[in-house]
Amino acid sequence: MADVNRGNRPLSPHLQIYRPQLNSITSIFVRITGNGLIVGAILVVWWLMAAASGAAYFDTIDGLITSVLGDIVMALSVLALWYHALGGVRHLIWDTGRGLDVETSDKMGWAMIIGSVALTFLTLIAI
């Protein structure tokens, strides 16, 4: 049964009073990039299925994937892949009990952001 003496206070912090922190934002973006990678994977599978379906269908899908819009989507997919991978490394470090203080956590958050952009740039240059 709910406590009737709580008054008009919220049950938990919400977006109107909670100040987002780097750690929470980077964690949310790890989840978002994970879902975005599903979309990128579906596009690659669609491209491979088109290759197996015949030349005419493949030419259509290949034209879409290799268009400017397709290049942007694939570049963002590479960024999402690096960001999500670095987020996974951060969580593996946290699982060992290291890096849980605010200062180290913030440094790892910035390392994820800067590292994913740098690794994406290097990946796109290498292609």
Q: Which residues are annotated as a binding site for heme?
A: 84
Two structure tokens written together for 70: 């397709």
Annotated binding site: 84
Please give the Cα distance from 74 to 93 (Å, whole number): 29
CA gap 26, 84 in Å, rounded = 10
CA separation, residue 80 to residues 113, 114, 117 (Å):
11, 13, 10
Residues 78, 66 contacting (CB under 8 angstroms) = no
